[in-house]
Every structure is written in structure tokens, then in C-alpha cells.
Structure 1
Amino acid sequence: MTQTLWSNLLPLAIGTHAEHHAHLSLHLHDDQGRGELEHFIHQCFADAHQADIHHYLPELLALRDSHGRLIAAAGMRPASSGRLFLEHYLDEPLESVISRAAGVSLGRECMVEVGNLASLSAGSARIMITAVTWLLATRGLQWVAFTGASTLINSFQRLGLVPTVVAQADPARLSEPAQHWGYYYDQHPQVF
């Protein structure tokens, strides 16, 4: 599915009752509302980890409740678009790591990095995970890579998903100072 066709799925209404629909929308680099999303992600990371992050993935999804309030956000970058942020943590390209873990040769065109996940609650994070999973599948991106700690993995497990660890997320491998991430690395995040 092309980016244009995929984008036509959005905004996506989520929920069974029209008065209580949440809505998912896509925001690219120069789109209106992108700044609000980046601020939301920044603030969630600051609140949770005392982090001061400034790296945002090129495609950001916004989840708003029925009143239009932003309740979750997540970012995506197709691996085919170039080097991924999480590849800083890897000794080799993502496709090599995933191919070995899957036991089959795979190319970057079927892989995506998901990151910048920020939410007001664990419930809204799980809604975002479910929606992103469906959207990525419709886009033909079958292999998802992300960096996360135990709280995020708990959300996946509550959804019946068991991600595979492929590497440790070592802050020493980043080009930016680790202190920008506050206490995030104290949780010992891993690459999945």
C-alpha cells in the first residue's frame, strides 16, 4: 500500500459508540499540529524520566479522545528510508539482526522503527499499540523494531504480544549526551 493510500485511512475513528470515538491522525514533518505532538512527546518523557529529548521520528501519529484531547502519540520511520535511530544500539544493520532472529532472510522494505511512544495512561498506550500494529500491517510493514523498557513490554504482554529482545539499548552508543534522556536508561531498555 502506498503512503498516499495508507494516509487515506486516517483520521481513523476508534471505538464502538460515535459519542466516545477516539481518533488517530498522521502528522508528517511540516504538517499543522506537528509541533503540538512533539511538545506532548517531550513533556511525557520529561514527566516520566526527567528527559529532554529532541529526536522525533518523521511520521507521528496522534490519538485524541472524543473531546479532541491528545492522549497518546507514537512515531514511525520505515527502515527503507535510511538509518534508524535504534540502529545506534546494534552492531549490524537491522535487517541482519531481524533476519537472524526470524531465521529467514528479510529486506529493510518490510521493516519499520516505532518510537516516541508517549501517553497519558497505560490504557491509551495499549490503544495506540493496537492501532499502530493494524496500520503497519495494512502498509505491508511486517517487522516492527522498537526500544522499550519493562513498563512498555508490560503493555505488549497485556495485549498477548511477546516481543523478542535483539539487543541492549546502551546510551554510550548514542552521539548525544545520555543526560538528555534523564532516568530513561536506569530502566535498562532493550531493542525488540
Structure 2
Amino acid sequence: MTAAVTLSPVEYLPPLAYKDCQSGVATDPQSAQLQWCDRNHTDRHSLEQFIAGGFAAAYDAHISQFMPHLLAVTLHGQWQAVLGIRSGLAPRLFVEQYLDADICTVLAGAGIQTQRAQVAEIGNLYASGRQQTLLLFIAMAVALYQQGYRHLVCCATPTVMSMLSRHGLLLNVLAEGDPSRLGDAAADWGSYYQRHPQVCQLDLTAAYQLIMAKPQLQQMLSGFLPLLQSAGASLSEQAGH
């Protein structure tokens, strides 16, 4: 998962309302909102600029490629965090550039038997703090699990891996995020690869069970489960694009 996370003192966001970018419905404009945007949404360009600006500030990177689906947090009308999602049914995942075989073959080599329809990829992570990052991860994990996805793959920095592990979300390393695999495009990523990202897998079944067993994590999701169900369904309907 390509990620730019500006670490700041951990602060909990206000109770989250939800807003579906397709319906425009939100519960409380004074609280943070969770938004789901596909490529055709009117907020898409603004959100892509937020991602590009975050990577530019963190790594002097020049990002111009974005995931087909974006899950974001806003507060008082300002973007706070974003996470991109792609179905494993897409012709090629970004992380497959780092691998010697397709994702299912690599997972099988690690003792994980699955099919592409059960795999989702995340990337384009940018957040102003750790709490927003955790929120997006647990929201995304619930949405994907409820739609039948069982494995998450990403390219994660040690910072992100450590933050998730403190909450029991353990990533299994599959390969190094080697920038030489990107060819000339590696130059666009600035100093990102100095953080030594690794291609990882997360067991969504285990993650979902953990989230449901921790009241603190469940509370973070309170109020926007309808959006997560809608978002997961949208991803499944557009899988392969």
C-alpha cells in the first residue's frame, strides 16, 4: 500500500457520521464524515489532489495514478484521510509489479489458498494522524469482509505495520516493495522507498473477528455501517474495472 502518514499525537475524531457520495446524505454536519467516491463522483478530483499533495509533502513524490475507489474521512468540510481500494478481479494489482507471479500464486506459496474474487488491494493511503489511519483500516476491513473478500493485500511501510499490530491487526510479509520493479516510474515516488515498504497480506476473517470482539473498535464504526455496506456492494458490482 502506498502510504503517506503524518504522525501526530493520537486524538480520537468526534463521533462519526456517514455520507454516501452517491446520495449525499449525512447525519451530522458538525461531526466527521466517512465518504465513498468512485471515479465519476464530483468530489473525486479534489480527493485526488489531497492524496497527491500529501505524498508531495511527505516524500516529494509526484502521484498521478489513483485507486478506482476511495474511502475518505472529512471534518468540517476538509479532507482528513483517504484510502484507495481495488478488487482482486482487476486485470492487474499494483502490488503485482513487485511479485514474481500473480497474487494468488504468491499467496499459495505462503500457505494461503484463495482466488482473486476473494482478494482486495488497498493503496493511496494518506492521513493526518494515526487515528484516522486506524479508522479507515477497520472500516475498510468490515466493508470488504461483509462482501465476501477474505484477503487484503497492500504495500505497507514499517510505520503502518507497527501501528496496526498494536491493535492486533497483523500483516504477513510476502515480498519487498522493490522500486526497481517500477522502472522509470520509481522516480515519481520521491523518498517513499527509503521507508522500506513491504508487500503484505491481511487475513480479513481474523481482522473482522478481532474488530467485533473489541468494543473500542466497534465504537469507532458506530453510525456508518449503512455506508460500509453500500461501499462494499459498489466495489463488488464494479469488480474488474
TM-score normalised by the chain length of structure 2: 0.69
Q: Deviations over 1:61-85 (max 9, x none)?
A: 11112x2321100101101121011
Residues 91-170 of structure 1: pairs in structure 2 closer than 5 A: 91-101=100-110, 103-170=111-178
Partner of 1:42: 52
Distance 1:115 1:95 in 2: 18
AA in 2 matched with 1:153: M
With a CA cutoff of 8 Å and minimum separation of 6, indicate the structure with the bigger relative contact order. Answer: 2
Task: State the 1:55 CA deviation.
Answer: 1.3
In structure 2, the residue matched to 1:3 is none
> Which segment is superposed worse, 19-28 or 150-159?
19-28
1:134-189 per-residue CA deviation (whole Å, 9 max, x = no partner) reads 11111211100000111111221122111000000111111443221011001111
SS for the counterpart of 1:81 is coil
Matched, 1:70 2:79: yes
Is the Cα contact below 8 Å between 1:50 and 1:182 reproduced in 2?
yes
Matched pairs, number: 178
1:174 to 164, 174, 182: 182
Distance in 1 between the 2:42 and 2:28 partners? Answer: 25
Question: Which residue is 1:89 aligned to?
Answer: 98
CA distance in 1, matches of 2:112, 2:161: 25
Please identify runs of 4+ aligned residues in structure 1 that moved more than 6 A: none
Q: Which runs of 5+ in 1 are unaligned?
A: 1-8
For the residue of structure 1 that corresponds to 2:123, the secondary structure is: strand
Amino acid at match of 2:136: M
Distance 2:90 2:170 in 1: 27
CA deviation after TM superposition for structure 1 residue 20, in Å = 6.2
Return the letter of the residue paired with 2:101: E
The runs of 5 or more residues in structure 2 that have no matched partner are 1-17, 22-26, 201-241
Partner of 1:4: none
**What whole-Å deviation, never above 9, does each CA across 1:48-105 have from its counterpart, x for those lacking one?**
111111110111111112x23211001011011210111000000001112232x243
Aligned to 2:212: none
Q: Paired residue for 1:60?
A: 70
Choose 81-90 or 17-26, whichever is displaced more: 17-26
Structure 2 CA distance for aligned equivalents of residues 19 and 105 of structure 1: 44
Compute the TM-score of the two structures, normalised by the length of structure 1: 0.86
Q: Secondary structure at the match of 2:63?
A: coil
**Aligned sequence identity (%):** 33
